[in-house]
Amino acid sequence: MLDAITALKQGTRLVYQKGLRRYIFLPILVNILVYGAMLGVVVNRFSGWLDHWMSLVPTWLDWLSWLIWPLFMISLLAVVFFTFTLITHLIAAPFYGFLASKVEIQATGRIPLDDRGLTKTAIDAVGRELVKLGYIAPRAIALFIISWIPGLNLFAPLLWGLFSAWIMAITYLDYPMDNNKVAFKDMRQRLTKRWWQSLSYGGLVTLITWIPLANLFLIPGAVAGAVLMWDQHYRTARELTHQGSA
């Protein structure tokens, strides 16, 4: 059975092969521009953000400052990373959806059920990203609030880690599923049924997004790896039959 690490390795090799390389340059350029802008914001503002939130800690908790400070820093880093990742994917989604379609054709020999072309894929992908945002935002806000509640915030780094893995699974595995007319609710149900595959792949993608510079070139591979995961773990027999007869 295909695991997350193997899927990422194979996906990365795929996108840099002849025939697919031309589809990854624009996503990489988008990532470079967005991450460059975000890094500038973080470098200039992070210290001020951290000082502001630490100033909100009640004086009776001063004795716990040695523990609260690193937890605040980790939580704030998670929030910043999470927000920037969402923005990046919202901008690059049209390119990733189109890349996933081309990878599916080359890697599996199957044409996606909704082979829409670049223009329609781009339009639909933005709409799908907004649906994802509607799902993610209230949960991220709730987790952000938990991050500042004394006692509960001790679990915040772990919760952010699990949440990030789940959201990265939704983000990447949705590209091939959207291309194959899998509704957003159905997609989440499939990910839940295969929770280990989903969280392991989402967790791996989360880790590579934290690797400076390397993440710019690994993310297209993560899109391709998601296509391989979709084909191995999430595609139904009915969909295989439908595509086989197409």
pLDDT score recorded for residue 57: 62
Q: Which tens digits make up the pLDDT trace of 212-235?
A: 777 778 889 999 999 999 999 999
Cβ count within 10 A of residue 136: 18
- Whether 115 shows a pLDDT value over 80: the answer reads no
Residue 156: partners with Cβ closer than 8 Å, 6 or more residues away: 71, 74, 75, 78, 143, 146, 147
Distance CA 146, CA 53 (A): 14
Structure pTM?
0.79
Q: Any residues with CB less than 8 A from the CB of 213 and at least 6 apart, and which?
A: none
CA–CA distance, 174 with 184 (Å, rounded to integer): 8
Q: What is the mean pLDDT of residues 64-88?
A: 68
- Arithmetic mean of pLDDT, 137-162: 82
Task: Decide if pLDDT at 147 tops 80.
Answer: no
